[in-house]
C-alpha cells in the first residue's frame, strides 16, 4: 500500500533506488490485467473446456492458434512475475535479516527457471 518512508524527524527519506516504486506500480498494473486474464483462464479451462476433458490433445489443438500461445505467454509472465514479487515482499517481512538475501536470491532463481520452462514449452511446442 502507498506508504512514504518518513524519518524520525518527519523528513521523507529518499530511497536509494526506484526499484520498489516500479515494483509497486507493476503490482497494480499487472494485478488489473490479471483480474481479467487469470480469472478468464480459470473459468474457460474449468467450465468451458472442463478439467476432466483436458489432455495432451486438447492443449495441442489449442496451441495451434498462435493467439492462445501469446495469451498463455502473457499470463505466464504477468502472473508469475506478480506472484513471485509478492512472495519476495512476504519473505522480506518474515525472513530473519541474516537469511533474507539468500531467500530472495533463491526466489529470483526459481522465478527465472520457471518463466524459462513455461516460455520454452509455449514457444517450442510442435504438434506431433
Partner 1 sequence: MREIYTYRGGPGMIAWALHRLAGLGVILFLALHIFDIFLMQFGPETFNQLLFLYKHPLFRLMEIFLLFGLLYHALNGLRVILLDLFPATARFQVQLWYVQMVIFAAAFIPLAVLMGIPIVRELFAV
**Where does this chain bind partner 1 (CB under 8 A)?**
1-2, 28, 31-32, 34-35, 38-39, 42, 46-47, 51-52, 54-57, 59-60, 76, 79-80, 83-84, 86-87, 90, 93-94, 110, 114, 117-118, 120-121, 125, 128
Q: Which is nearer to partner 1, 102 or 120 (CB)?
A: 120
User: Which position has the grid cell 512514504?
Assistant: 4
Residue 3 CB, shortest distance to partner 1, in Å, is: 10
Calpha distance 51→23 (Å, rounded): 34
**Rounded least distance, CB 104 to partner 1, Å:** 15
User: Which is closer to partner 1, CB of 18 or CB of 93?
Assistant: 93
Residue 20 Cβ vs partner 1, minimum distance, rounded to whole Å: 14
6 forms beta bridges with 12
List residues bridging with 31 in a β-sheet: none
Identify whether the C-beta of residue 125 lies closer than 8 Å to the C-beta of residue 72: no
- 85 neighbors 23 (Cβ within 8 angstroms): yes
Closer to partner 1 by Cβ: residue 9 or 120: 120
Smallest separation, CB 110 to partner 1 (Å): 8
**With b meaning 16 or more CB within 10 Å and e meaning fewer, what string describes 1-21?**
eeeeeeeeeeeeeeeeeeeee
Nearer to partner 1 (CB atom), residue 57 or residue 105: 57
Amino acid at each position: 500500500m502507498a506508504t512514504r518512508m518518513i524519518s524520525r524527524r518527519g523528513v521523507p527519506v529518499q530511497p536509494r533506488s526506484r526499484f520498489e516504486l516500479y515494483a509497486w506500480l507493476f503490482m497494480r498494473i499487472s494485478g488489473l490485467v490479471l483480474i481479467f486474464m487469470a480469472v478468464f483462464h480459470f473459468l474457460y479451462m474449468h467450465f468451458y473446456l472442463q478439467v476432466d476433458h483436458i489432455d495432451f490433445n486438447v492443449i495441442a489443438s489449442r496451441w495451434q492458434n498462435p493467439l492462445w500461445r501469446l495469451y498463455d505467454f502473457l499470463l505466464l509472465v504477468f502472473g508469475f512475475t506478480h506472484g513471485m514479487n509478492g512472495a519476495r515482499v512476504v519473505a522480506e517481512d518474515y525472513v530473519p535479516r541474516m537469511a533474507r538475501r539468500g531467500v530472495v536470491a533463491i526466489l529470483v532463481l526459481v522465478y527465472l527457471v520457471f518463466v524459462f520452462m513455461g516460455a520454452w514449452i509455449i514457444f517450442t511446442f510442435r504438434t506431433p
